[in-house]
C-alpha cells in the first residue's frame, strides 16, 4: 500500500519505502518532470542506467496517456520492498473518462488515438508487475513495479 504523499524533494537521499512523491500531470512538461524524477529515484536506488531508462520509459507512457485521454492526473513514485528486494512503484492516477474494455486496451496493437498501440502493452512488458483499475466516467489507476536487478 502507498504511504503518505509528499511533493518535496528527496534531497539526495532515498525516501523511506512506500513514501510517495506525487508529480501532477497536465502537459508535456509534466511528463518530462515525472520521467526525470523516476530516473533519479531509480539511480539513487542503485538501478543500472538501463533499468533507470526502462522505468523512465514506463513513466513517460503512463503520463502521456493521462495527458492524451484524461487531460490531467498524477504520477506517484515510491521505493517499494517485497520478497527481500527493492524496486520502484509507479502509480498513474486520473479522473478521466476511464476505459470501457481494459483487456482490449492492454492488448498489443490496440489504439484509440491512432497511434501504434504499444502504450499500455509496452508498459506491461517493461515492468515486473502491472495492475490496472478503470471505471468509465470515473477514471483509471495503473500501478506498476519494477524490481532492481
Position 36 pLDDT exceeds 90: yes
**In this predicted structure, what is the pLDDT of residue 108?**
72
**First-to-last C-alpha distance (Å) of the chain:** 22
The DSSP line for 89-148 is EEEEEE-SS--S-HHHHTSTT--SSSS-S-HHHHHHHHSSEEEEEEETTTEEEEEEEEE-
Which helix (DSSP H) or strand (DSSP E) does residue 51 occupy?
Answer: helix 49-65
**In this predicted structure, what is the pLDDT of residue 118?**
65
pLDDT 10s digits, 50-108: 999 999 999 999 999 999 999 999 999 999 999 899 999 999 999 999 998 898 888 87
Give the domains, in start order, of the chain with CATH numbers: 5-147 (3.30.565.10)
Amino acid at each position: 500500500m502507498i504511504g503518505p504523499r509528499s511533493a518535496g524533494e528527496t534531497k539526495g537521499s532515498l525516501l523511506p519505502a512506500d513514501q510517495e512523491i506525487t508529480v501532477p500531470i497536465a502537459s508535456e512538461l509534466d511528463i518530462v518532470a515525472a520521467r526525470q524524477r523516476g530516473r533519479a529515484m531509480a539511480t539513487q536506488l542503485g538501478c543500472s542506467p538501463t533499468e533507470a531508462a526502462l522505468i523512465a520509459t514506463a513513466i513517460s507512457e503512463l503520463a502521456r496517456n493521462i495527458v492524451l485521454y484524461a487531460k490531467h492526473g498524477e504520477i506517484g513514485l515510491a521505493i517499494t520492498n517485497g520478497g527481500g528486494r527493492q524496486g520502484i512503484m509507479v502509480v498513474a492516477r486520473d479522473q478521466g473518462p476511464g476505459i470501457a474494455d481494459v483487456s482490449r486496451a492492454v492488448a498489443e496493437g490496440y489504439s484509440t488515438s491512432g497511434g501504434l498501440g504499444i502504450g499500455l502493452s509496452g508498459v506491461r512488458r517493461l515492468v515486473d508487475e502491472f495492475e490496472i483499475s478503470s471505471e468509465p466516467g470515473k477514471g483509471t489507476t495503473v500501478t506498476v513495479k519494477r524490481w532492481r536487478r
